[in-house]
Structure 1
Amino acid sequence: MDKLDLTKAYKMYYNAPSKPQLVEFETIWYLSIVGQGDPDSDTFANATEALYTVAYSVKGDYKKQELDFAVAKLEGQWWVDGDPKKALEVPREEWHWKLLIRMPDYVTSDRVEEARKLAAAKKKDLKVIADIQYESLHEGVCVQMMHVGPYSTEPETLAQIEHFIEGNHLRYSGLHHEIYLSDPRKTASGKLKTILRYPVQTIEVVKG
């Protein structure tokens, strides 16, 4: 039985160059969970565990139907109240996030709900499993770039993205989106690879 690997099936989605590029994506389905707080907090850790627990429960269900797949990379959307460009100026406890794991196109909401219930029954102490949702996201045209290094140096990469957006008469039209290609538990911080992505729209330019 072949196992679907989304990172190989959707190479553009899971790859980015070392300089900003324009890409476009169709509607994609994800398991998701929303929260607020420091990414080093127990709240964030529990949300991540719950998301993976349900993802592997969905995988197990489909594997029985000979539709096995590799659980995809963790992703996150990030925002703060007020000006999103000032995210690093507010305490990390005030950060909002939505964690995501992409699902294959054949996964249905009914099967996700059954898998979520099964996961909740197995891990009764992990109450936030109840908060896992199955939703679609259509970001459309995006600017993305590969960030290599610790998360703390992301502003350097984001500055390049902002310069590209301004120089090409674009404007932000969605949330800051990250895809974590490396496992920070197994990878040195200087070698971490993270795709940074922003949905954008064209600004109409009036020529004189």
Structure 2
Amino acid sequence: MNKLDLAKAYKAYYTAPTKPELVVFEPISYVTIVGKGDPDGATFANATEALYTVAYGVKGHYKKLEKDFTVAKLEGQWWVDGDPRTALEVPREEWHWKLLIRIPTYVSAEIVEKARTTAMAKKKELKVISDVGYESLNEGTCVQMLHVGPYATEPETLARMEQFIEDNQLRYCGLHHEIYLSDPRKIEPAKMKTILRYPVEAVEVVIG
């Protein structure tokens, strides 16, 4: 039985150069969970565990159908509500996030719900499992770039992306999106790799 590896099947999604580039994506399905708080805190850790628990439950269901797949890399969308400051200027406790794990196109919302219900019964102490769901995102045209190094130095990469967006008469039209290619528990910060991505659209030019 062949196992689907999303990272190999969708190389354009899971790779990026060390300079800004424009890419276009079709709608993509994920298991997701939304929360708020410090990414080093218990709320974030519990949300991550809940998301993986459901993702592996979905995988187990399809493995029995001989449609097995490798659970994909963790991703995150980040934002701050009603605050003109950048995320790094806001206390981490005020950060909002949506954690995502991409799933194959053949995975249905019904099976995600079944996996969630099963996980809730098995891990009753992890109540946040109830917040995991199925979602399709259509980010369309995006600017992306590979960030190499610790998360704390991301502003340097984001500054290059912002300049690229300005130079190409684009503007942001979606949430800051990250794909975590490295496991921070297994690699030193200087070598970590993270894809940074932003949905964009063309700036309307008014003539006359």
Q: TM-score, normalised by structure 2?
A: 0.98
Q: CA deviation at 1:86?
A: 1.4
Q: CA deviation at 1:204?
A: 2.2
- SS at 1:136 equivalent: strand
Counterparts in 2 of 1:3 and 1:153: CA distance versus 1, 3 Å: same
1:113 partner letter: E
- Between stretches 76-85 and 26-35, larger displacement belongs to 76-85
Q: 1:68 corresponds to which residue?
A: 68
Q: CA deviation at 1:108?
A: 0.5
- Listed one character per residue, the Cα deviations across residues 62-117 of structure 1 (whole Å, up to 9, x for unaligned) are 00000000000000000002356611111000000000000000000111111111
- SS at 1:12 equivalent: helix
- Listed one character per residue, the Cα deviations across residues 18-59 of structure 1 (whole Å, up to 9, x for unaligned) are 000000000000000000000000000000000000000000
- SS at 1:13 equivalent: helix
Q: 1:169 corresponds to which residue?
A: 169
- Listed one character per residue, the Cα deviations across residues 130-168 of structure 1 (whole Å, up to 9, x for unaligned) are 000101000000000000000000000000000000010
Distance between the aligned counterparts of 2:203 and 2:54, measured in 1? Answer: 40
Distance between the aligned counterparts of 2:93 and 2:83, measured in 1? Answer: 16
- SS at 2:12 equivalent: coil
> Size of the alignment, in residue pairs?
208
C-alpha RMSD of the superposition: 1.1
Q: CA deviation at 1:118?
A: 1.0
Question: Structure 1 regions of 5+ residues with no counterpart?
Answer: none
Q: TM-score, normalised by structure 1?
A: 0.98
1:46 partner letter: N
Identity %: 74
- Between stretches 197-206 and 69-78, larger displacement belongs to 197-206
Q: 2:124 corresponds to which residue?
A: 124
- SS at 1:185 equivalent: coil
2:105 partner letter: D
Q: 1:204 corresponds to which residue?
A: 204
Q: 2:11 corresponds to which residue?
A: 11
- Between stretches 113-122 and 159-168, larger displacement belongs to 113-122
Q: 1:110 corresponds to which residue?
A: 110
Question: Structure 2 regions of 5+ residues with no counterpart?
Answer: none
Spell out the pairing of 1:12-51 with structure 2 (5 A cutoff): 12-51=12-51
Distance between the aligned counterparts of 2:13 and 2:117, measured in 1? Answer: 30
Distance between the aligned counterparts of 1:83 and 1:112, measured in 2? Answer: 34
Distance between the aligned counterparts of 2:103 and 2:118, measured in 1? Answer: 18
Counterparts in 2 of 1:51 and 1:76: CA distance versus 1, 3 Å: same
2:181 partner letter: L
| Residue 144, structure 1, aligned to residue 144, structure 2 | yes
Distance between the aligned counterparts of 1:206 and 1:61, measured in 2? Answer: 53
Q: 1:188 corresponds to which residue?
A: 188
